[in-house]
Structure 1
Amino acid sequence: MNRGIIIRDAHYPGRAAIDAYGNGGFRFADMSHRGSILCLPSGIHGWEPADPGRLSADDFQLVLDEAASIDILLVGTGLDLKPLPAAVKARLREAGIAAEPMSTGSAVRTYNVLLAEDRQVAAALLSVD
């Protein structure tokens, strides 16, 4: 029986502050992850939007699945602030989530503050180099 390497979706099962970002990834909970991440009540997940330059509602399905536990979603859009498409904001609003786009650095800092205040916050963070 050939078992080979099993590749699983990246997932840290808990809420954790983001310790560092840059070089294409993030550090949290004494670990590092290369690529973008979703910080949700269920944990920190690897996130691969189909087109990071043009986010769609489908890219936020995991967020929508946990909408009952999220009041605000911080969206780190890279080095610069980029507005979310109206359809994405509308879909998140329908689920009861206020979405706030900002640069990834600003989103990381704001996420850490709101997490420390035990707020119902989530973050969708695009990696930066």
Structure 2
Amino acid sequence: MDVTPLIPEGRQLIEAYGDGAFRITGVRYVGAVLVFPEETRLWDLAGIESLTPDALSSVTDREFVPEILLLGTGARTEFILPSLRAAIREKGPVIDIMDTGAACRTYNVLLAEGRRVAAALFPVD
């Protein structure tokens, strides 16, 4: 029985991560990325300590703000200040924080379910 999720054509599927990069729908991205169902962008952010609401403006200022924002913090889960979480939530999405591997897998599942999801991912070496 085939259990591969059906992803509509043109959607960004996270296929692999590691060695400081990601493979998303056949394209390799080196460094941090922002992944939306319809596009992937490089994210010029050094690390979780540099995260601010402005650093996520390309997520929260979209015409269709995602309902869920997955934050992949690297090889292990790193938490953010409650004030930062509240500032992001105030702009629309619920932020869910986890290690990057879990965020990649969760993004793909939510995408397959047709949810309005985005992922902000820090690479894993």
What is the TM-score when the length of structure 1 is the normalising length?
A: 0.82
Shift of 1:103: 0.1
User: Which one of the candidate residues 57, 71, 75 is aligned to 1:75?
Assistant: 71
Residue 53 of structure 2 corresponds to 57
* Alignment check: 8 A CA contact 1:56 1:85 kept: no
Does 91-100 or 40-49 show the bigger shift?
A: 40-49
**Unmatched 5+ residue regions in structure 2?**
1-9
Q: Give the AA of the match of 1:128.
A: V
Structure 2: distance between partners of 1:52 and 1:45? 16
Decide which structure has the larger Cα Rg and report it. Answer: 1
What is the TM-score when the length of structure 2 is the normalising length?
A: 0.85
Shift of 1:65: 1.3
**Unmatched 5+ residue regions in structure 1?**
1-13
Shift of 1:78: 0.4
Question: Between the two proteins, what is the percent identity of the paired residues?
Answer: 42
Does 64-73 or 119-128 show the bigger shift?
A: 64-73
Shift of 1:87: 2.8
Superposed CA deviations along residues 84-110 of structure 1, whole A, max 9, x for unmatched, are 222321121111210000000000000
Residue 25 of structure 2 corresponds to 29
Aligned residue for 2:48, secondary structure, equals coil
Tell me: CA distance 1:70–1:53, structure 2 relative to 1, closer, same or farther (3 Å): closer
CA-atom RMSD, angstroms? 1.5
Structure 2: distance between partners of 1:15 and 1:84? 29
Residue 120 of structure 1 corresponds to 116
